[in-house]
Amino acid sequence: MAWKEGIVLQPYLPLLLMFVLAAGFAVFSVTAAPYIGPRRYNRAKLDAYECGIEPSPQPVVGGGRMPVAYYLTAMLFILFDIEMVFLYPFAVKADDLGLFGLVEIVLFIVSVGFAYAYVWRRGGLDWN
Amino acid sequence: MKTADLLADDPIWLIIIKVVGIFVYLVVFTLFMIWLERRVVGRMQHRPGPNRVGPFGLLQSLADGLKLAFKEDIRPVLADKWVFFLAPVVSAVPALLAFSVIPLGGEVTMFGERTALQLADLPVGLLVVLACSSLGVYGIVLAGWASGSPYPLLGALRSAAQVISYEIAMGLSIVAVVMYSGSMSTSDIVLAQKDNWFFYLLPLSFLIYLVSMVGETNRAPFDLAEAESELVGGFHTEYSSLKFALFFLAEYINMVTVSGLATTMFFGGWYAPWRFLPFGLGEVWAGADTGWWPLLWFTLKTLGFLFLFIWLRGTLPRFRYDQFMKLGWKVLVPVSLVWILGVTAVRVMQREELSTTFKLVAVLIGVTVIVLISFLIPDRPERDTTIVRTAGSDYPLPPPDLRVPAAPKRRLAAAATAKLPSATKEDGDV
């Protein structure tokens, strides 16, 4: 294997190239779309989709209201996503850590479990 | 030779060929998948499905794609100009990117260069897939938000909440696999399954992954984000032409990626499909795991998972939103956490030299903790059956056990109308 400068980032080079190709393809598609297709002006066509009436929650861009439960879900996602990310390094080295690792991970999951149980009891996971 | 070392030697032209190859592989797979889905669902519903364009209608999705390109590109007046433009890109790019760490095969010779049938082998390969699927959510949310229309916004919110909820279950189901293979590199995970596949070593992880991969890709029975009867088309209602095509492409590529990841993590990746069989049956054909054959095995296994997607769509009705979120947060997450602890405990017990008393005490403590936790689970509230339910207003609904008397037989009824007085005792029976 040839050790050259920047060898650490070399594995990521294919990802970068893939990104360039994907982004190029996608940007080309969205830019080309208005030029390839026909253009027939019709005011009704440019309205928001509704069954012939004005959309009820008025213009949503930048100021509409949305159910607060979604924010809660997003916050919970952050909590558990971080828990998950901490579990990965442990999982890679679980065999080397042995009993010590097991005790530690039980303590970790139990401490996150308190937050989970609290959210559950307070109805944070309920939808209606 | 390790896959990462093999790949490190790749000259730039080979990497470019591979990048283009994977791009073409994914696009062709998507076109084929759309055709397959329409055919299979068609068969399941007793109709032929598309069969006019090309042999067996194979070119149907290509024709549809071309047709989309020549449709008018509409941007509603209320839409946010730039975000509306950018959202399809944000959705499609991570979808394509996620697949680049999936190993399609082992060592091959391409144009005189020894390399592996894989674009990139990163020590954090699984994290790349998870990160890309998280980034894809941005495309969905931005699309719904920028459309300036109520249905896409609701669809986008639902979709985002759904994807992030099931992402947790998915991520947790991967932990046990990482533990068994001792690495997060996708090629190492495949190599760790040379003789034992993880789907029977870790059945619960596989099951949780299977459910969450359907939830993650917003597919039936979890396609609440595009519930036609409620939300028109979901987050891409306002999109048309090639922008819509990009969302469609992203959705199908995501399906291919999660199926490919399922193959990689639980079904031995590119190893021959009979590889896990016991009694030496796995080694009947030594050449099956060399050269370009693995690409075929991988594709076949992935197709199997994709067929499962179609099968589910053709079979199951859509979930209700609260049931769906309940399944994700209250079932899959706790079950996978307990499963991870269990797997860790068993592995530690197997490897460490511990006294029997210690093991017994540990098991006892574990059982006690589980019993204590089970007390925390609230009881199901008793349903009062005596109340007459009212639907919003004070108008009473009929009681649930109401028995409607059967209609009298037509002949009897006719007779009854003909001679009213004498027929009364005949139509009294039920």
What does residue A8 show for φ and ψ, rounded to 5 degrees? -65, -40
What ranges do the domains of chain B cover?
3-352
Chain B residues with CB under 8 Å of A47 CB are 76-78
Q: What is the C-alpha to C-alpha distance for residues A26 and A20, in angstroms, rounded to an integer?
A: 10
Is there a contact between B237 and B187 (Cβ–Cβ < 8 Å)? Answer: no
Between these two residues, A92 and B288, which has the higher pLDDT value? A92
Between these two residues, B298 and B408, which has the higher pLDDT value? B298
Q: What is the C-alpha to C-alpha distance for residues B202 and B192, in angstroms, rounded to an integer?
A: 14
Q: What is the C-alpha to C-alpha distance for residues A23 and B165, in angstroms, rounded to an integer?
A: 27
Residue B347's contacts (CB-CB under 8 Å, 6 or more residues apart) are A94, A95, B179
The answer to whether residue B299 scores a pLDDT higher than 80 is: yes
Q: What is the pTM of this model?
A: 0.82
Between these two residues, B416 and B430, which has the higher pLDDT value? B416
Chain B residues with CB under 8 Å of A28 CB are none
**In the predicted model, what is the mean pLDDT of residues B195-200?**
85
For residue range B139-169, what is the model confidence (pLDDT) as tens digits?
888 888 888 777 888 888 888 888 888 889 9
Shortest Cα–Cα distance, A4 to chain B (Å)? 11
Q: Which of B65-69, B270-274, B377-381 has the highest mean pLDDT?
A: B65-69
Between these two residues, B394 and B300, which has the higher pLDDT value? B300
Shortest Cα–Cα distance, A42 to chain B (Å)? 10
pLDDT band at residue B210, thresholds of 50, 70 and 90? very high
The answer to whether residue A47 scores a pLDDT higher than 80 is: no
User: pLDDT at position B428, please?
Assistant: 47
pLDDT band at residue B305, thresholds of 50, 70 and 90? very high
The answer to whether residue B90 scores a pLDDT higher than 80 is: yes
**In the predicted model, what is the mean pLDDT of residues A52-79?**
71
The answer to whether residue B126 scores a pLDDT higher than 70 is: yes
Shortest Cα–Cα distance, A15 to chain B (Å)? 7
Instruction: Please give the CATH number for the structural domain made up of A10-121.
Output: 1.20.58.1610
pLDDT band at residue A83, thresholds of 50, 70 and 90? confident
Q: Which of B174-188, B233-247, B275-289, B413-427 has the highest mean pLDDT?
A: B174-188
Q: Best interface-test mutation with A: which of B83, B127, B149 has the largest number of A CBs within 10 A?
A: B149
- Check B165 against A73: CB less than 8 A apart: yes
The DSSP call for residue A65 is -
Four-point Cα dihedral A51, A55, A61, A65, nearest 10: -130
User: pLDDT at position A58, please?
Assistant: 55
- Check B184 against A109: CB less than 8 A apart: no
Weakest mean pLDDT among A57-61, B1-5, B82-86: A57-61
- Check B128 against A15: CB less than 8 A apart: yes
**In the predicted model, what is the mean pLDDT of residues A1-18?**
68
Which residue of chain A has the CA closest to B154?
A66
Q: What is the C-alpha to C-alpha distance for residues B264 and B189, in angstroms, rounded to an integer?
A: 7
Q: Best interface-test mutation with B: which of A40, A45, A61 has the largest number of B CBs within 10 A?
A: A61
The answer to whether residue A3 scores a pLDDT higher than 60 is: no
pLDDT band at residue A2, thresholds of 50, 70 and 90? very low
Q: What is the C-alpha to C-alpha distance for residues B48 and B45, in angstroms, rounded to an integer?
A: 9
Shortest Cα–Cα distance, A27 to chain B (Å)? 6
Between these two residues, B84 and B375, which has the higher pLDDT value? B84
Would you call A105 an interface residue with chain B, using a CB distance cutoff of 8 Å? yes
Is there a contact between B293 and B271 (Cβ–Cβ < 8 Å)? Answer: no
Containing H/E element for A32?
A: helix A13-36
The answer to whether residue B307 scores a pLDDT higher than 90 is: yes
Show contacts of B339-344: CB within 8 Å, 24+ apart. Answer: B339/B176, B339/B204, B339/B205, B339/B208, B340/A87, B340/A105, B340/A109, B340/B172, B340/B175, B340/B176, B340/B179, B341/A105, B341/A106, B341/A109, B343/B176, B343/B179, B343/B202, B344/A94, B344/A101, B344/A102, B344/A105, B344/B179
Shortest Cα–Cα distance, B73 to chain A (Å)? 5
| 3-state per-residue secondary structure call for chain B | CCHHHHHHCCCHHHHHHHHHHHHHHHHHHHHHHHHHHHHHHHHHCCCCCCCCCCHHHCCHHHHHHHHHHCCCCCCCCCCCHHHHHHHHHHHHHHHHHHHHHCCCCCEEEECCEEEECCCCCCCCHHHHHHHHHHHHHHHHHHHHHHCCCHHHHHHHHHHHHHHHHHHHHHHHHHHHHHHHHCCCCHHHHHHCCCCCCHHHHCHHHHHHHHHHHHHHCCCCCCCHHHCHHHHCCHHHCCCCHHHHHHHHHHHHHHHHHHHHHHHHHHCCCCCCCCCCCCCCHHHCCHHHHCCCHHHHHHHHHHHHHHHHHHHHHHHCCCCCHHHHHHHHHHHHHHHHHHHHHHHHHHHHHHHCCCCHHHHHHHHHHHHHHHHHHHHHCCCCCCCCCCCCCECCCCCECCCCCCCCCCCCCHHHHHHHHHCHHHHCCCCCCC
The answer to whether residue B423 scores a pLDDT higher than 50 is: no
Would you call A78 an interface residue with chain B, using a CB distance cutoff of 8 Å? no
| Inter-helix orientation angle B241-266/B293-315, to 10° | 110
The answer to whether residue A9 scores a pLDDT higher than 50 is: yes
**In the predicted model, what is the mean pLDDT of residues B311-319?**
88
Q: Which of B182-186, B217-221, B412-416 has the highest mean pLDDT?
A: B182-186
Chain A residues with CB under 8 Å of B69 CB are 32-33, 36-37
The whole-chain average pLDDT of chain B stands at: 82
First to last CA, chain B: 81
Chain B residues with CB under 8 Å of A9 CB are none
What share of chain B in percent tops pLDDT 70?
A: 88
Between these two residues, B418 and B295, which has the higher pLDDT value? B295
User: pLDDT at position A1, please?
Assistant: 44
User: pLDDT at position B227, please?
Assistant: 67
ipTM of the complex: 0.84
User: How many beta-carbon contacts under 8 Å exist across A and B?
Assistant: 234
User: pLDDT at position B153, please?
Assistant: 82
Q: What is the C-alpha to C-alpha distance for residues B390 and B341, in angstroms, rounded to an integer?
A: 47
Q: What is the C-alpha to C-alpha distance for residues B74 and B262, in angstroms, rounded to an integer?
A: 38
Nearest CB to B168 within list A14, A36, A81: A81
Q: Which of A51-65, B30-44, B381-395 has the highest mean pLDDT?
A: B30-44
Shortest Cα–Cα distance, B158 to chain A (Å)? 8
For residue range B14-52, what is the model confidence (pLDDT) as tens digits?
888 889 999 999 999 999 999 999 999 999 999 988 888
For residue range B227-265, what is the model confidence (pLDDT) as tens digits?
666 677 778 888 888 888 898 899 899 999 999 999 999
Return the number of other C-beta atoms located less than 10 Å from residue B78's C-beta: 19
pLDDT band at residue B377, thresholds of 50, 70 and 90? low
